[in-house]
Structures are given as C-alpha cells and as structure tokens.
Structure 1
Amino acid sequence: MRRVHPAWLAAGVALVALVGAAGFRATPSVMLHPLHEEFGWPLATISAAVSVNLVLYGLTAPFAAALMDRFGVRKVTTGALLLVSAGSGLTVFMRSSFELIMLWGVLVGLGTGSMALAFVATVTGRWFVKRRGLVTGVLTAAGAAGQLVFLPVLAVIVENSGWRTASLLVAGAALAVVPLVLLWLRDYPADVGVRPYGAEADAEPSMPSTSSASSKAPTEGAGRRAVGALTMAARTRPFWLLAGGFAICGATTNGLVGTHFIPAAHDHGMAPTAAASLLALIGLFDIVGTIVSGWLTDRVDSRILLGVYYAGRGLSLLILPTLFNASAAPMVVFIVFYGLDWVATVPPTVALCREYWGDRGPVVFGWVFASHQFGAAIAAAGAGLVRDRLGEYTLAWYVAGGLAIIGAILSVSIRRKVQTGTVRLAT
C-alpha cells in the first residue's frame, strides 16, 4: 500500500490548530449586544477592543513567522493556543472595559496572530512544492470558515447559557488542540527524513540549514529578520499594492461583516441566532470558494484572480443595505456569493509574495497580512462609530463597497516580476 506523505499529516494538524483558534475570533459578533446590555459599554467601546485584537492579530504575524524560523512551528503554535485559551477563559472574570481590551485585544490578539495566515504560508512553503496553492486554500478556509461555523453554536450558547459559558467553551477548544500539535506537528520535512511533497528526487530534505534565505535562521533574531524582510519588500511597488489591497480585504471582511453583520441584522428585526446562521453559511461556502481559489492559483495569473475577487465583493456590498429590507431569498443569494469570495484572496496573495520574495515570502506575507488587520481594525471601530452616531450601518456598507472596487484596481496594477538572467524584483 502506498505510504501517505508526512506533508499531509503536517497540513492536517495545522488545519485542526487553525480551527481550534478560530472559535475566539467568532465570539465578538455574538457578544456585542450581551456585553452592552450587561455592562452598559457603548458599542464603539466594545468595537475598540475588537480593533485592538485585529491590529495585534496582524502585527504579530510577521514576527511569528520569523519566530517559527528560529524556534520552530510546533513551539510557537503551542504557545499561541495557550494564549488563546487563557485570554478567552479569563474573560469570565472581567469587570471593566480596560480588562476587555487587555483580554480580547492584547492577549488573544497575540495568540491568534501567531497562528494567522503567515502560519499557513510557513507550513505550505516548507512542506509542499506541488499542490501548494491548493493546500494554502484548504488551510485558509479552515481558519476563516471555522470562525464562521462556530457562530450559530456560540449564539445558541450565549442565548441559553450566557456569554461566559461560550468563552469557557472556546478556551477549552483551543486547549484541546495543544496535545495534537505537540505530538504530530513537525517543523521541517527533514525532521522525519523526507523531502517536501512534490520536490525533485535529487533535492535535499528541507531543513533550516538548506533554506536559501534562512541559513541565519538559528542565530538571527526574529525581530531583526521580520523587520529586515519589511525593509527589503517596502522598497518595491508590488508590496504596497498588495498591502493596500489586503487592507481593503480586511476592512470588508473581518472588520465590517465579521464584526457588525449580526448587530446590523438585529437592527432590521432579525434574531441573533438567525443572523449567526447566515454568517455560518458564509463560512460553508467560503470553504468551497477558498479551495477553488487555491486550485485556480496554481493555474491562473494571481493578479487577475485578485481583481475579480475584489470587484465582485465590492458590488455585493453596495447592494447589501437594500437586502436587509428585502425578502429572505435575495439575502441568501448574497450570502452564497459573498461566502465564495470571503477569503478567496489569500491563496493568490500568498503566491505573489512567494513569487516576488522567495523564501522570505512567508515573512513578507506576514506584513501584508498586518495591513489586512489594520484595515479590519479601522472598519470595526469605524462601523461601530457610524452606528452610534447615525443609528444605522448603511454608510459603512457603501464605503466598504467602494473600497473593494479600489482594491480590484490596485491588484491588476501589479506588474509581473521581471527576470533578466538572474531573478530580480519588480519595482
């Protein structure tokens, strides 16, 4: 019987870890109103805590990728899951909005950021040569869809048992993944004596000492490596176009829809559990959309894919305000279309980072992802402020739709990398 390549085991454990961390990222949208009702905190204040989480979630990513190069994926992932579990579990004792910011924002932001999409880029970059785009799509879908699929479960628990029970459940889910990571997740294919999946037969097993850009990995500080990758990439035009587009991606997904869809639906008379179920449906279709996007990334120009994804998202957001007052059928159509596009942008963005920056691509992608979270944080706080000031979210949806169209323009403006004898970056 043909032996399964260990790369698939590494990908499987990474998938479970991403799903385990996804639970907490699902909690803010179902807890906005319960926390507002219990503590009297304005939605803008609670949204600010979400914004801190989103910023740290992004800023941690490039440093986590560098830490994985130095200390290993297994150690960093284990520490991240413990932070998520602690941050979620300790929320049951909070009494002030400052504690909310420290737990939701700082502690969990650091934990989930260490298992953000830079983690996906690191695992796929080390373990796969063939099927890299497809596996990137699957792992990305696991994190994003896991977050959304948790929503109806958490909404029911919050409604029937309170938000504290939901927080403890998420803490337990993250903690339960730790033994799997310690037992089964290895740092490099060389650790189990194999080459990356799809590598040439005469290639050496992948390990730190043979990584072209990472020969310094055991000794170079993670901070220096992360900042060095940013300094190098920031000199090029593609970095800023990718970062700008991904900031818009974050604003139009996690920041706005992920955080405020349930409160917005509640404003229009929809029960929180029904709205959470719609977001979960987004998650289910996101699995399909992101896996297909990964498959397409192995075959189609990533710039074209990004342009199509952002343009379609922008058009869907522009019509969303009218759908809240329409019948259920048009809203379901929106949910299906938007779900297919939710994080379909990730595989082509990861591919472009590796195309331009090689083995440093995962760390550079960590910085691109940081821009994603800055965009998400601004949208989360801004939409909460719009709701407090205007009494509705309509303006936020229209602004997000326009930004997504701009994201499409930025994406198709990225030039192909020029190769003249030796590889050099497009500028």
Structure 2
Amino acid sequence: MTDTSETAQPLTDRPPAPPAPRLHYAWVVAGVALLVLLGSAGFRSTPGLMMDALNAEFGWSHATIAGAVSVNLTLYGLTAPFAAALMDRFGVRLVVVCALLIISTGAGLTVLMTQSWQLMLCWGVLVGLGSGSMAGAFATTVSGRWFHARQGLVTGVLTAAGAAGNLVFMPLLAWLVEQHGWRTAVVVVSLCATAVAVPVLLFMRERPADLGLLPYGAIEAPPAPVLTGSAIARSLRVLREASRSRAFWLLAGSFAICGATTAGLVGTHFVPAAHDHGMPVTTSASLLAMIGVFDVIGTIASGWFTDRFDSRLLLITYYALRGLSLLLLPRLFAGSLQPPMLAFVIFYGLDWVATVPPTVALCRKHFGPDAPVVFGWVLAAHQIGAAIVAALAGLARDQFGDYDAAWYAAGGLCAVAVGCCLALRMVRPTAPVALS
C-alpha cells in the first residue's frame, strides 16, 4: 500500500488561496470614462447659451449661430465611426486625450473671434471634431471590451453621463455668461477640457488582457482582435457591409429622429424659446439641467430594461411618448416656471437618451464584433438629424418669430421613428453576438 503521509496535508494546513480582488478594474475604467463624459459634456451646449450675447455684441442672427451648432453636430456625428476604428487601432487613451486637447484649443480660440466664420471654425469644426471623438464610440468601446455582464447597464450609465453633463453644467455656464460675459464661459470650458485629460492618462487601460483579466462577468477570454488596414478603411468597410442590411437603415433613421428631437431642437433652442416667452435665461438653463438630472435616472433604468426586455419594444415606447410630449410643449411656455412645464421637464428628462442602450444592444445583436463602428455610423445619423433640425429651427424662429412649428414638426417625426422600430421587429439578425 502506498504511503501518502508525506504528501497529503490536512485542509487546515494548506496555504490559503489568494483573495479575489474586491473591485474588478473594469469598474475603474468605467469610472474614468464616466468622469471624462461628465467633464467634457458642457462643451456642446455653450453656443445655445451664448445666442443672445453673440447677437447683442456682433449682430449675428439666430440662424447664423445655430449654423455653427449645426456644423458642430454634423462633425460630432461623422467623427464617431472613425473614432471607434481609431480607438481599436491606436488605443482609447491616445484618441481621447487628443480629442480633449482639440476641444480645449477650439473653445479657447473663440475669445479672439470677430467674424461669424471664426465661430464656425472654432466651435463648429474643432469642438465638433473633438467631442465627436468621444461620442457613443467611447461608451460602446468601453462597455464592449471590459464588460461581458451588465453591458446594457454600463452603456446606460455612460450615455447618461454624456447627455446629463451636457445639461447639468448649463446653469453654471449661463451664470458665467450673464455675470462675467461669454468669453469667461468659454475659457472655463477650455480649461476643463485640459484638466479632464489627466485621469485618462493616469488610469485608462485598453483591454482587460493588458492586466491579465477577463472582462467583467466573463468565464473565458474573448478572441484577440484582428486589425488590418487603416482605421478609415475599416470604418468605410463596415459602413459598406452594414448598409446592405435593412436593420442598419431602420436604426439609423430612428436614431436620426432621436438626435433631431433632443440635441438638435431641445438642447439648442429650448433656452431661446423660453426666453421668447419672458423666462430668464438662468431659469430656462436650470430647467435643462433638471432634464439632465432625470436623464441619468431614465437612461440607467433604460440600460437595466435593455438587459431584460425586447429593445425594439422599448424604442417604440420611448419615441411614442416623446412625440406626445413635444406636441404639448408650445402650450407650456410662460414667463415663469409653472407646474405643467415642470412635469414636461421631468418626463422629457427620463426619455432624453433612454434610446441609446437599446439601440446599442440592437447594433450588437445585428452586427456582432463590428457593433462599435456600426453604432458610430448610427450615431452619425443621430447627429446629422440634430444638425439639420438645429439649423431649420433657427430659420423657423427668424421667419415666424417663434418655435411653434418646430415643436409640432418634431412630434410628427417621432411618429416616423415609431414606424421604423415597428418595421425593425420583422428583421432577423444576420450576425452573431460577440464582444468587441
């Protein structure tokens, strides 16, 4: 009989297993992304707050200033799909730091402008390119690389940070514009963009494998990414392949309407529209900030719903309710805050970008590993829709003296988005779900 007395050890004498880390580094990366999206979010809203100040100083019309916002929104969207490919090629940290520095430069240079084309160049082109590089591609890439479980929730949280921060900072920026002038506000924006780059340099990591980890909730390592060719070529290849799918056009069309009815119309024109009815700028900016607060709740909840319910049904519900609220909005404006307007702000905040988590989930469902780049193109449609409506609403204001036509048209567009999502229910996925 074999003697095992020297090899067998009592259970209590064995060395203890190393303790599992209490916090997966995925949450650190998500925290850095959250800080970046919050800290950089106020940049896109500033021109809407400066409309009256720029009109008074330079005589520029609402349509001219809205035109700069339109350029910003267009480039914000068109940059997104290339940013996703650039992050795959050169790394998230490098792309995000460069984007923040571009924003800082563009915002800082506006203090020197004297002509409207300079507003187009600085705030339209530079800030548009920089902010677009941290658009949905950033949140989608982080959640796809670092999370196997809780992808919908993390996408919702990061999306809420970007959208809510864009609104929450508006009261501060509005106060700076009123009390210290618009130049002070843009200098603060420029300095904040530079400061936010620091945590990215210190804590951002590219993939869990770089630290010897699996994505959060994964039980096996995802396949190593295969990257060939340039980032631009990959972005265009993905667009070419995705555009053959009906699902892509339905997602892009509905998301274009999402952008038109949020960033393009409400985000850009709510403050001047309220001011037309006698409401102080700081009050209307505070209402937009409240939209941002409730957007955090709504988008995180939408991420939780996306992990559990049919994303297409969620989108149908969101767009239908949004359209109804926009049809009612023209009757709610007044010189002071009234309960019906407060109810609109709460409701619209809950619905503001609740569409993002289910849209991202559907991109993953239909396009698999290319989902971040595909969502970048879908986001491009979102921003193009926003840009078109931002410009048209400014023209409508100059032509008719109010924004009523714009609100009613936006409500009708939401009905079209509902139709797109209904049609999407009849499209079968053509690609396996996979991590990015």
- TM-score with structure 1 setting the length: 0.95
Please name the residue that 2:203 is paired with: 184
2:41 to 8, 22, 26: 22
Q: Does structure 1 residue 235 correspond to structure 2 residue 244?
A: yes
Please name the residue that 1:248 is paired with: 257
Q: Residues 231, 260 of structure 1: CA spacing in aligned structure 2 closer, same or farther, 3 A cutoff?
A: same
Deviation of residue 423 (structure 1)? 4.9
Q: Residues 417, 358 of structure 1: CA spacing in aligned structure 2 closer, same or farther, 3 A cutoff?
A: farther
Deviation of residue 408 (structure 1)? 1.3
C-alpha separation in 1, matches of 2:48 and 2:114? 19
Please name the residue that 2:5 is paired with: none
C-alpha separation in 2, matches of 1:292 and 1:403? 24
Please name the residue that 1:291 is paired with: 300
Deviation of residue 418 (structure 1)? 4.0
Please name the residue that 2:22 is paired with: 3
C-alpha separation in 2, matches of 1:293 and 1:358? 21
C-alpha separation in 1, matches of 2:259 and 2:364? 21
Q: Residues 98, 54 of structure 1: CA spacing in aligned structure 2 closer, same or farther, 3 A cutoff?
A: same
Structure 1 counterpart SS, 2:166: helix
Please name the residue that 1:314 is paired with: 323
Which stretch has the larger CA shift, 317-326 or 182-191?
317-326
Count residues with an aligned counterpart.
Answer: 413
Runs of 4+ in 1 over 6 A off after TM superposition: none
Q: Could you tell me whether the CA contact under 8 Å between 1:117 and 1:366 is conserved in 2?
A: yes
Deviation of residue 325 (structure 1)? 4.1
Alignment of 1:274-289 (within 5 A): 274-289=283-298
List per-residue Cα deviations over 1:256-310 (Å, max 9, x = no partner): 0000000000000000000000000000000000000000000000000000000
Q: Does structure 1 residue 140 correspond to structure 2 residue 159?
A: yes
Please name the residue that 2:108 is paired with: 89
C-alpha separation in 1, matches of 2:28 and 2:287? 32
Q: Residues 423, 362 of structure 1: CA spacing in aligned structure 2 closer, same or farther, 3 A cutoff?
A: closer
Q: Could you tell me whether the CA contact under 8 Å between 2:278 and 2:334 is conserved in 1?
A: no
Q: Could you tell me whether the CA contact under 8 Å between 1:63 and 1:222 is conserved in 2?
A: yes
2:382 to 352, 364, 372: 372
Deviation of residue 416 (structure 1)? 5.9
The code of the aligned residue for 1:321 comes to P
C-alpha separation in 2, matches of 1:419 and 1:233? 12
Q: Residues 79, 423 of structure 1: CA spacing in aligned structure 2 closer, same or farther, 3 A cutoff?
A: closer
C-alpha separation in 2, matches of 1:143 and 1:159? 25
Q: Could you tell me whether the CA contact under 8 Å between 1:286 and 1:339 is conserved in 2?
A: yes
2:128 to 109, 128, 131: 109
2:278 to 269, 272, 275: 269
Q: Could you tell me whether the CA contact under 8 Å between 1:70 and 1:220 is conserved in 2?
A: no
Structure 1 counterpart SS, 2:169: helix
1:336 to 334, 346, 354: 346
Which stretch has the larger CA shift, 301-310 or 401-410?
401-410
Q: Residues 132, 416 of structure 1: CA spacing in aligned structure 2 closer, same or farther, 3 A cutoff?
A: farther
C-alpha separation in 1, matches of 2:429 and 2:324? 36
C-alpha separation in 2, matches of 1:337 and 1:67? 37
Structure 1 counterpart SS, 2:424: coil
Q: Could you tell me whether the CA contact under 8 Å between 1:306 and 1:412 is conserved in 2?
A: no
1:119 to 134, 138, 142: 138
C-alpha separation in 1, matches of 2:124 and 2:429? 43
Please name the residue that 1:78 is paired with: 97
Deviation of residue 406 (structure 1)? 1.2
The code of the aligned residue for 2:42 comes to G
Please name the residue that 2:362 is paired with: 352
C-alpha separation in 1, matches of 2:303 and 2:365? 15
C-alpha separation in 2, matches of 1:23 and 1:320? 24
Deviation of residue 412 (structure 1)? 2.1
Deviation of residue 340 (structure 1)? 0.2
C-alpha separation in 2, matches of 1:105 and 1:325? 31
C-alpha separation in 2, matches of 1:134 and 1:75? 26
C-alpha separation in 2, matches of 1:419 and 1:159? 51
Deviation of residue 417 (structure 1)? 5.9
C-alpha separation in 1, matches of 2:284 and 2:197? 31
List per-residue Cα deviations over 1:78-114 (Å, max 9, x = no partner): 0011111111111101111011000011000000000
Which stretch has the larger CA shift, 86-95 or 1-10?
1-10
The code of the aligned residue for 1:400 comes to A
Q: Could you tell me whether the CA contact under 8 Å between 1:55 and 1:370 is conserved in 2?
A: yes
Alignment of 1:23-38 (within 5 A): 23-38=42-57
Structure 1 counterpart SS, 2:50: helix
C-alpha separation in 1, matches of 2:362 and 2:164? 23
- Unaligned runs of 5+ residues in structure 1 are none
The code of the aligned residue for 1:100 comes to L
Q: Could you tell me whether the CA contact under 8 Å between 1:41 and 1:97 is conserved in 2?
A: yes
C-alpha separation in 2, matches of 1:80 and 1:49? 19
1:167 to 153, 167, 186: 186
Please name the residue that 2:214 is paired with: 195
List per-residue Cα deviations over 1:223-247 (Å, max 9, x = no partner): 0110011011100111000000000
Q: Could you tell me whether the CA contact under 8 Å between 1:238 and 1:415 is conserved in 2?
A: no
Q: Does structure 1 residue 66 correspond to structure 2 residue 85?
A: yes
Larger radius of gyration: 2
Please name the residue that 2:391 is paired with: 381
Please name the residue that 2:422 is paired with: 412
- TM-score with structure 2 setting the length: 0.93
Give percent identity, aligned residues only. 62
- Unaligned runs of 5+ residues in structure 2 are 1-18
C-alpha separation in 2, matches of 1:282 and 1:39? 31
The code of the aligned residue for 1:122 comes to T
The code of the aligned residue for 2:236 comes to V
C-alpha separation in 2, matches of 1:348 and 1:221? 30
2:175 to 137, 141, 156: 156
Provide the alpha-carbon RMSD of the alignment. 1.4
